[in-house]
A and B are shown apart, each in its own frame.
Chain A
Amino acid sequence: MRYSGFKVIKEALTGHKGWQPAWRDPQPKSHYDIIIIGGGGHGLATAHYLASIYGETNVAVIEKGWIGGGNVGRNTTIIRSNYLLDGNEPFYEFSLKLWEGLEQDVNYNAMVSQRGIMNLIHSDAQRDAFIRRGNAMMLNGADAELLDEDQIRAEYPFLNFNDARFPIKGGLAQRRGGTVRHDAVAWGYARSADSRGVDIIQNCEVTGFRIENGTCLGVETSKGFIGAKRIGCAVAGNSGRVMGMAGMRLPIESHVLQAFVSEGLKPVLPGVITFGAGHFYVSQSDKGGLVFGGDLDGYNSYAQRGNLPVVEDVCEGGMAIMPMIGRARLLRMWGGIMDMSMDGSPIIDRTHIDGLYFNGGWCYGGFKATPASGYAFAHLLARDEPHETATAYRFDRFRTGHMIDEKGMGNQPNLH
């Protein structure tokens, strides 16, 4: 069933009796060509591109809870492609281009909103760094625009320009960046993959791998053994846990990141803003809530909730650049588990076990990567070779010294 404006009107006039479930609820078959572990954004996007681009339809996505219950439904929904390094920028720009055509591709309204993102500048050194980054972006075909203080004042008059410690001196804007309705991304990809024959199996936890003579033959699950020729793992914050069942230790730590939403307000914030002197980012959802966040809590965690010191830190960041935020009441806050890698960049690669592939290490920037991650992982699973935009995302980069460390922090995951 295709969704369309006409269909919405027809259903409105006929009592909404014609809608059907957006995807089936199948029982697992005994064997598939490809199994994807994890029904988050990345797993579902992988299934969609496997079916639509690579012609692989004998595919299952195995999710331990319900699809969209992980980070894809917990993030602050920001998309952008404003990276500096060559290993990253072409990949994220590919992702942004896929976002631009996503809704037509999957026939689902994901509320992709290119409202622009503005990274604020507070010092001369930061301006130099942002000019360099903007140039790197443009060299890779992305858009970037350097703004001075007056230009930002015209767009965001309420910001705290004259703060004694962190005055706002300019900004780097990416107009094509913005926000996307995160749940709808999971649902849209799920519906599209399902309609092409992919089985989405919810409430089915992978509890082990069957590995014989260095080859992975399938997965043990709470619904029994399911065989497959190739198995891709895309479980984000649970990467260490799941790959541990295959005997692997990863260059990844799991950390908790919190997000916050205020009560609904009239439109005040047209785009996404990030504070350059602390860690704070904010946008306004279409329902009116200010959606914001900041740093990780900073310690290993699998609890999907954080602690109060970070709540205070994030709110301080908000007050520093946007004092009027202090008038809004906080409505909700929650946490998600981040797969923080050793250089802050992801991995999309084979493992040393034949038939077993890994996608993870997304840190807190994996939502924007969802389309490209799915595309590149589908490419790897279908062709057994890395996609051209993901050639740097290999496990062995830590052995060979080819880390992709945007912030230059070294192997300290909580600092990326």
Chain B
Amino acid sequence: MIINHPLLGPRDSAEFVYMGDAALIDRPDPDTASPEDWHDYAYLRDNPAGEHRELWFHEGGDRSWLVVTRNTVTHEISKVELARDVARARGRST
């Protein structure tokens, strides 16, 4: 698979490390979250067959985190964003 890095252009997926569902960006608020919230966040996944937004880390490159939108049935990648931008757009400060 080729991941079209927003800053570096097309890169081989072998340069990256895979983390999982991009929902991991939405970490529960430590001040208000219940144990149940943490359980769901840490352990449960949507695991869809089809479009999946997921976190990839460019370990063998510029060490940026990306949110890649990829189809889990065809492996086709339709969108690549910087995770930083996605997190900020969702209201995270860092």
Determine if chain A interacts with chain B: yes
B1 partner, pick from A241, A249, A307, beta carbons under 8 A: A307
Nearest CB to that of B73 among chain A residues? A302
Q: Inside 8 A of B12's CB, which chain A residues have their CB?
A: 309
Chain A, residue nearest B46 (CB): A249
A 238-262 contacts with B by CB, 8 A: 238, 240-241, 244, 249-254
How far apart are the CA atoms of A342 and B40 in the complex, in Å? 12
Contact assessment for A252 and B47 in the assembled complex, using a CB-CB cutoff below 8 Å: yes
A303-B74, A307-B1 as given contacts; A249 in contact with B45, CB under 8 Å: yes
CB <8 Å contact, A414 and B45: no
Q: Does A123 contact B (CB under 8 A)?
A: no
Given contacts A251-B43, A307-B75, contact A302 B49 (CB under 8 A): yes
Contact status B75-A253, CB under 8 Å: no
> Does A298 make an interface contact (CB < 8 A)?
yes
The digit string for A255-279, where 1 denotes a CB below 8 A from any CB of B, is 0000000000000000000000000
Complex Cα–Cα for A42 and B23 (A): 32
Q: B residues 15-54 with Cβ under 8 Å of A?
A: 18-21, 35-36, 39-40, 42-49, 52, 54
* Chain A interface size, under 10 / 10 to 19 / 20 to 34 / 35 or more: 20 to 34
Say whether, besides A250-B44, A253-B47, A301 and B14 are in contact (CB < 8 Å).
no
Q: Which of A241, A302, A399 lies at the interface centre, i.e. has the most chain B CB atoms within 10 A of its CB?
A: A302
Q: Is A399 within 8 A of B45, CB to CB?
A: no
B18 pairs with A303, CB closer than 8 A: no
B side interface size, CB within 8 A: 27
Q: Name the residue of chain B whose CB is nearest to the CB of A298.
A: B18
What residues on B are CB-neighbors of A303 within 8 Å? 72-75
Contact of B45 among A251, A298, A299 (CB under 8 A): A251
Q: Return chain B residues, CB-CB under 8 Å to A412.
A: 19-20
Docked-complex contact B75 and A301, CB < 8 angstroms: yes
Given contacts A254-B72, A303-B74, A307-B13, contact A249 B44 (CB under 8 A): yes
B39 touches A399 (CB 8 A): yes
Do B20 and A300 have beta carbons less than 8 Å apart? Answer: yes
B48: which A residues are within 8 A, CB to CB? 240, 244
Task: Tell which of A241, A250, A299 has the most Cβ of chain B within 10 Å.
Answer: A299
The smallest C-beta distance from A208 to any residue of chain B, in angstroms, reads 15
- Please tell me which one of the listed residues B18, B36, B49 contacts residue A299 in the complex, with CB atoms under 8 A apart: B18
- CB-based contact A300/B73 at 8 Å: no
| Closest A residue, CB atoms, query B47 | A240
| Residues on B with beta carbons closer than 8 Å to the beta carbon of A299 | 13, 18, 54, 70
A196 vs B33: C-alpha distance when bound (angstroms): 52
* Interface set, chain A 349-404, CB cutoff 8 A to B: 398-399
* Chain B residues, Cβ within 8 Å of A301: 72, 75
A58 on the B face (CB < 8 A): no
The residues in A between 201 and 242 inclusive whose CB is less than 8 angstroms from any CB of B are 238, 240-241
Asked if residues A240 and B73 are in contact (CB atoms below 8 Å), the reply is no
Chain A min CB distance to B37 (Å): 12
Q: Report the separation of the CA atoms of residues A300 and B70 in the bound assembly, to the nearest whole angstrom.
A: 9
Task: Say yes or no: A300 contacts B72, CB within 8 Å.
Answer: yes
Tell me if A413 counts as interface (CB < 8 A to partner B): yes
CA distance A253 to B18 in the complex (A): 13
Select which of B18, B43, B44, B46 is within 8 A of A414 by beta carbon: B18
Nearest CB in chain A to that of B12: its residue: A309
Q: In whole angstroms, how far apart are the Cα atoms of A238 and B75 in the complex?
A: 17
- Given contacts A249-B47, A254-B72, list 5 more A-B pairs with CB under 8 A: A241-B49, A253-B21, A254-B47, A303-B72, A412-B20
Which B residues have a C-beta under 8 Å from some C-beta of A? 1, 12-14, 18-21, 35-36, 39-40, 42-49, 52, 54, 70, 72-75
Closest 6 CB pairs of A and B: A240-B47, A309-B14, A249-B44, A302-B49, A398-B43, A251-B43
21 A-B pairs whose Cβ atoms sit less than 8 Å apart in the complex: A241-B49, A249-B47, A251-B44, A253-B20, A253-B21, A254-B47, A254-B72, A298-B18, A299-B13, A300-B47, A300-B52, A301-B72, A302-B72, A303-B74, A309-B12, A398-B39, A398-B42, A399-B35, A411-B43, A413-B20, A414-B18
